[in-house]
């Protein structure tokens, strides 16, 4: 594997590349790292006609010494994340069809997860629900069935299991080889013993990759360097938010009970999450991985290079000596579950390193600061082929066919990118990897990280804080507890849905519908877009007509080129060339910055400003006395904005309401935030004002049918399917995604509002929905509608008539629900437009 770096040989023509005759010639691509991700990516890129691909690898092929080189290869597909599940499904499908010398790259032994507690068994039911929602075969099974599948377990400690027949073992190195061979046949070149030492750039674009063997010019560079990501990132001037951690893996001595084993493995891969353990067979031995030990962070900058590691008698740069003291408690747990282990010991073990991110998801995408520089990191073998396909689509076609927002490298807030945050959160992800995590469970540390200016008041009111995007967010206020008595009886909740919930939320929702409430909207992302080209720019980037006089607020959509919903925004025209945009994730900012012409400035003003939503039928009575401006319906219309003063506080007021009541979002600078809160609080006393939290907020917005981007809709959906077609003006000038929408046919699926039939039933989101007894879709978001007296669930389903009965599976129970008409609450808008 030698090379003449400076003059890249022209890519070999292969039959497949002829198929792409009409495409522009392949750009010069360099992939850094030949682990499973780099190899899969080379395969996926060359399959799409990008054949001028060089993969640079510091170690020796075929086992260059990264995490892949010793991964035991367990592939469990089930995940709460639909995106991760899709990645894993593709990996299984692809590796099952790949062979080297007649040996398949996937050994479909199935998967088994065991429960030794009722809590875990409930979790396994939920996992079976995710599986049904995302189209994976899996079922909760009896203890007896667990024993049948894994005869070595002590069934007396097991209360049940979750069996997934299509999971199994990826032969990761074999799959690397198979993909190297295919990619090489299409023209890719794999150069091992080439250590990348630098990334060259010009005018914000990547131009070349420097190695100890020479420089490789490149138009596109992908860092698939696994846990070395931060090292390569630094060469490119980019933070890569991942933390390498070591994780223990050991193999037992030969087990007499397995003496007859012929195959490498025949029993399902096994998980014992109650003790943070997993198991697989290695013919007549058992391999055991543990997440039970303390986090063992590794500094990626201090990892020894390959050869030196060898010299020091370390197998690979990514494997560290086994720490016996960390293993001891796990070994007791292993012997408890599998009595056959009591007469044996482990024969070998190591602490292997791989990547953890602050939220446990991969880091994918192109850097805006350095165009042409991509990351494909923090990826498990399980997700590797799916990730590679998505990244290849993204590079070649301009967008992936899957929703990747949970994996987008731009998803982190600035405060979530500090090295200490990444280390602390990454370590916590390690600790929690098998924990039962409630969908609302907040991170524990570092907190508080971001607080609004009203934080002190919220604490005084007994706020129950959860965390989102680093923000402390009140979910309800204990101060409102006395209001609960007036509500009348509320349905009992099961233990799971009662977590991070309080009947106080119902009282706050009632107060919002009947009187007036203050909501802390500070975490709502705010962008300022200014400059002579701002109007044209925003009008081209989004779907609604923004050519309105200053003072107008417009609900509009950011689409991608294929018409998928990238975000929904409110755009307030505050001056001829000055706009305030209410947005969703940091990715929105990134997208606008990427496309902004030189005469437009885009700035995130979230930090340094704050927002209070004042909503309810008495909102006008509360606000009007504080200002000389006219806040009447005629003087301050719905979806209008005004810059004014409330008492001493300069505010930007916008008349809109995500909770579906009369009222305003009131923005001011952070320094004046507390004063604004106190002003509104004092003025509200005579109207019975309450502070209300996100729990009520979510209930109210669901009753109103307002979508939450990222949960209810993503770029996998077009606006018509998602029920936000009203924000698309096909008759205005051209905008991103317009052409694609023109050829979009009648929707065949729809974001469908469901009402649960039983007033006492609740679901929480991500549950499968059955139509005529078969899984037909999944719940996006759900919440109890306190005004309606029913749980509201939105779900992606085939187009169904209003009144159709369906079933939502919750903890293995089939809960009846009915397709409803939108909006469920106040369809005539009498509460808002008055």
Among 582, 737, 768, 783, binds ligand THG (CB under 6 A): 582
User: Which part of the chain contacts ligand THG (CB under 6 A), choosing from 75-83, 246-254, 340-348, 581-589?
Assistant: 581-589
What count of other Cβ atoms lies within 10 Å of the Cβ of residue 445? 10
From the centroid of its chain, how far is CA 152?
A: 37
Q: Is 283 left (phi over 0), alpha (psi -120 to 50) or beta?
A: left
Instruction: Indicate the DSSP class of residue 265.
Output: -
Would you say 196 or 218 has its CB closer to ligand FAD?
196
Give yes or no for residue 362 binding ligand FAD (CB under 6 A): no
Cis peptide leading into 62, omega within 30 of 0? yes
User: Which part of the chain contacts ligand THG (CB under 6 A), choosing from 6-14, 280-288, 401-409, 580-588?
Assistant: 580-588
Question: Across 408-462, where does the E strand assignment appear?
Answer: none
119's tokens: 């809590």
Give yes or no for residue 57 binding ligand FAD (CB under 6 A): yes
Among 49, 59, 129, 719, binds ligand FAD (CB under 6 A): 59
Active site residue 345: no
Report what 349 binds from ligand FAD, ligand THG, none; CB cut-off 5-8 Å by kind.
none
Cα pseudo-dihedral 710, 711, 712, 713, rounded to 10 = 30
Rounded Cα distance, 772 and 807, in Å: 8
Give yes or no for residue 658 binding ligand THG (CB under 6 A): yes
Would you say 35 or 768 has its CB closer to ligand FAD?
35
Report what 666 binds from ligand THG, ligand FAD, none; CB cut-off 5-8 Å by kind.
none
First to last CA, the chain: 75
Site string for ligand THG, 527-566 (x = CB under 6 A): ----------------------------x-----------
Give yes or no for residue 56 binding ligand FAD (CB under 6 A): yes
**Segment 694 to 753, residues that bind ligand THG, using CB under 6 A:** 706, 727
What one-character-per-residue DSSP string does 99-129 give?
EETTEESEE---EEEEESSHHHHHHHHHHHH
User: Which part of the chain contacts ligand FAD (CB under 6 A), choosing from 349-357, 400-408, 550-558, 762-770?
Assistant: 349-357
Least gap, CB of 834 to ligand THG (angstroms)? 15
Would you say 40 or 51 has its CB closer to ligand FAD?
40
> How many residues belong to the site for ligand THG (CB under 6 A)?
15
Rounded Cα distance, 366 and 381, in Å: 21
Among 379, 518, 600, 602, binds ligand FAD (CB under 6 A): 379
Give yes or no for residue 33 binding ligand FAD (CB under 6 A): yes
Report what 783 binds from ligand FAD, ligand THG, none; CB cut-off 5-8 Å by kind.
none
Rounded Cα distance, 89 and 87, in Å: 6
User: Which part of the chain contacts ligand FAD (CB under 6 A), choosing from 57-65, 179-187, 546-554, 806-814?
Assistant: 57-65
Would you say 220 or 556 has its CB closer to ligand THG?
556
Token look-up 């939220």 returns 359
Active site residue 706: no
Active site residue 315: no
Least gap, CB of 197 to ligand FAD (angstroms)? 7
Site string for ligand THG, 660-679 (x = CB under 6 A): -----x--------------
Least gap, CB of 36 to ligand FAD (angstroms)? 5
Report what 64 binds from ligand THG, ligand FAD, none; CB cut-off 5-8 Å by kind.
ligand FAD
404's tokens: 């990747």
Would you say 114 or 569 has its CB closer to ligand FAD?
114
Among 49, 64, 349, 723, binds ligand FAD (CB under 6 A): 64
Give yes or no for residue 71 binding ligand FAD (CB under 6 A): yes
**Segment 483 to 502, residues that bind ligand THG, using CB under 6 A:** none
Please choose, from the candidates 524, 539, 628, 535, the residue with its C-alpha nearest in 3D space to the C-alpha of residue 578: 535
Q: From the candidates 70, 125, 247, 717, which is the catalytic residue?
A: 247
Among 336, 639, 720, 825, binds ligand THG (CB under 6 A): 639
Q: How far is CA 772 from CA 130, 140, 198, 810, 816, in A?
A: 19, 21, 58, 17, 12
Among 416, 497, 584, 609, binds ligand THG (CB under 6 A): 584
Rounded Cα distance, 24 and 824, in Å: 50
Element (DSSP H or E) covering residue 325: helix 324-337
Among 422, 527, 569, 779, binds ligand THG (CB under 6 A): 569
Among 35, 365, 582, 616, binds ligand FAD (CB under 6 A): 35
Question: Across 616-731, where does the E strand assignment appear?
Answer: 641-646, 649-654, 663-669, 690-692
Give yes or no for residue 644 binding ligand THG (CB under 6 A): no
Rounded Cα distance, 483 and 508, in Å: 8
* Three-state SS at 810: strand
770's tokens: 């059955």
> How many residues belong to the site for ligand FAD (CB under 6 A)?
38
Q: From the candidates 568, 604, 712, 715, which is the catalytic residue?
A: 568
Give yes or no for residue 407 binding ligand FAD (CB under 6 A): no
Question: Do 549 and 726 contact (CB within 8 A), yes or no?
Answer: no
Cα pseudo-dihedral 783, 786, 791, 793, rounded to 10 = -50
Would you say 249 or 471 has its CB closer to ligand FAD?
249
* Three-state SS at 387: helix
Please choose, from the candidates 589, 487, 558, the residue with its C-alpha nearest in 3D space to the C-alpha of residue 736: 558
Residues 6+ apart with CB under 8 A from 4: none
Helix/strand/coil percent split, the chain, to 5: 30, 30, 40
Least gap, CB of 407 to ligand FAD (angstroms)? 13
Residues 6+ apart with CB under 8 A from 826: 660, 704, 832
Residue ranges that bind ligand THG, judged by CB under 6 A: 524, 555, 568-570, 582-584, 639, 654, 656, 658, 665, 706, 727
Residue ranges that bind ligand FAD, judged by CB under 6 A: 32-38, 56-59, 64-68, 71-74, 195-196, 224-226, 228, 232, 247, 249, 289, 318, 352-354, 379-382
Residues taking part in catalysis: 247, 278, 568
């Amino acid at each position: 594997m030698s090379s003449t770096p400076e003059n890249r040989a022209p890519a070999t023509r292969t039959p497949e590349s002829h198929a792409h005759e009409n495409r522009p010639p392949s750009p010069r691509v360099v992939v850094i790292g030949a682990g499973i991700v780099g190899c899969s990516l080379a395969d996926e890129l060359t399959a799409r006609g990008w054949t001028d691909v060089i993969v640079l690898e510091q170690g020796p092929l075929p086992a260059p010494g990264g995490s892949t080189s010793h991964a035991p290869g367990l592939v469990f597909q089930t995940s709460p994340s639909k995106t991760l599940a899709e990645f894993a499904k593709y990996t299984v499908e692809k590796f099952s069809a790949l062979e080297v010398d007649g040996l398949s790259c996937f050994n479909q032994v199935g998967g088994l997860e065991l429960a030794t507690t009722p809590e875990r068994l409930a979790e396994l039911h939920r996992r079976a629900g995710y599986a049904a929602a995302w189209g994976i075969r899996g079922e909760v099974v009896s203890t007896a069935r667990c024993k049948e599948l894994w005869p070595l377990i002590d069934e007396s400690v097991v209360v049940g299991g979750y069996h997934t027949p299509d999971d199994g073992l990826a032969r990761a190195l074999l799959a690397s080889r198979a993909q190297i061979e295919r990619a090489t046949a299409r023209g890719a070149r794999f150069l091992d013993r080439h250590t990348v030492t630098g990334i060259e750039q010009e005018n914000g674009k990547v131009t070349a990759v420097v190695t100890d063997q020479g420089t490789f010019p490149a138009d596109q560079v992908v860092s698939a360097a696994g846990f070395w990501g931060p090292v390569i990132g630094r060469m490119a001037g980019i933070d890569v938010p991942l933390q390498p951690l070591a994780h223990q893996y050991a193999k037992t001595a030969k087990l007499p009970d397995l003496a007859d084993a012929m195959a490498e493995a025949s029993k399902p891969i096994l998980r014992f999450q109650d003790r943070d353990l997993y198991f697989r067979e290695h013919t007549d031995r058992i391999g055991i991985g543990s997440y039970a030990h303390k986090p063992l962070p590794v500094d990626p900058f201090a990892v020894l290079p390959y050869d030196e590691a060898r010299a020091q008698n370390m197998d690979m740069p990514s494997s560290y000596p086994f720490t016996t003291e960390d293993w001891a408690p796990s070994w007791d747990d292993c012997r408890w579950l599998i009595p056959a282990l009591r007469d044996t010991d482990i024969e070998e073990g190591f602490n292997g390193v791989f990547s953890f991110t602050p939220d446990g998801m991969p880091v994918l995408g192109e850097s805006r600061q350095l165009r042409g520089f991509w990351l494909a990191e923090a990826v498990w073998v399980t997700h590797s082929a799916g990730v590679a396909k998505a990244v290849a689509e993204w590079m070649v076609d301009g967008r992936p066919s899957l929703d990747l927002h949970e994996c987008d490298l731009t998803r982190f807030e600035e405060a979530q990118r500090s090295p200490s945050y990444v280390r602390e959160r990454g370590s916590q992800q390690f600790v929690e990897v098998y924990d039962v995590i409630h969908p609302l469970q907040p991170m524990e540390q570092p907190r508080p990280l971001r607080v609004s200016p009203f934080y002190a008041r919220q604490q005084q009111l007994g706020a129950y804080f959860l965390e989102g995007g680093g923000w402390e967010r009140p979910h309800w206020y204990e101060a409102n507890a006395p209001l609960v008595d007036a509500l009348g009886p509320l349905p009992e909740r099961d233990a799971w849905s009662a977590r991070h919930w309080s009947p106080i939320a119902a009282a706050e929702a009632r107060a919002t519908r009947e009187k007036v409430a203050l909501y802390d909207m500070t975490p709502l992302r705010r962008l300022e877009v200014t400059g002579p080209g701002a109007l044209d720019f925003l009008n081209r980037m989004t779907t609604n007509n923004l050519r309105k006089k200053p003072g107008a607020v417009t609900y509009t959509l950011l689409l991608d080129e294929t018409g998928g919903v990238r975000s929904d925004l409110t755009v307030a025209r505050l001056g001829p060339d000055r706009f305030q945009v209410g947005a969703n994730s940091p990715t929105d900012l990134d997208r606008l910055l990427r496309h902004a012409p030189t005469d437009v400035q885009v700035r995130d003003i979230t930090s340094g400003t704050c927002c209070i939503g004042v909503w309810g039928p008495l909102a006008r009575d509360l606000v009007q006395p504080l200002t000389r401006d006219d806040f009447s319906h005629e003087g301050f219309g719905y979806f209008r904005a005004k810059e004014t003063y409330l008492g001493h506080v300069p505010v930007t007021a916008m008349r809109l309401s995500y909770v579906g009541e009369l009222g305003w979002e009131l923005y001011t600078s952070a320094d004046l935030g507390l004063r604004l809160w106190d002003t509104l609080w004092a003025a509200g006393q005579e109207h019975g004002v309450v502070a209300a939290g996100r729990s009520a907020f979510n209930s109210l917005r669901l009753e109103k049918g307002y979508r939450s981007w990222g949960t209810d809709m993503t770029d996998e959906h077009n606006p018509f399917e998602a029920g936000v077609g009203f924000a698309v003006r096909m008759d205005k000038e051209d905008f991103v995604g317009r052409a694609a929408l023109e050829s979009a046919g009648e929707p065949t699926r729809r974001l469908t509002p469901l009402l649960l039939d039983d007033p006492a039933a609740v679901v929480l989101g991500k549950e499968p929905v059955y139509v005529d007894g078969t899984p037909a879709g999944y719940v996006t978001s759900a919440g109890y509608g306190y005004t309606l007296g029913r749980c509201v669930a939105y779900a992606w389903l085939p187009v169904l008539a209003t009144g159709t009965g369906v079933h939502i599976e919750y903890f293995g129970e089939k809960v009846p629900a009915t397709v409803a008409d939108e909006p469920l609450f106040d369809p005539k808008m009498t509460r808002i437009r008055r």
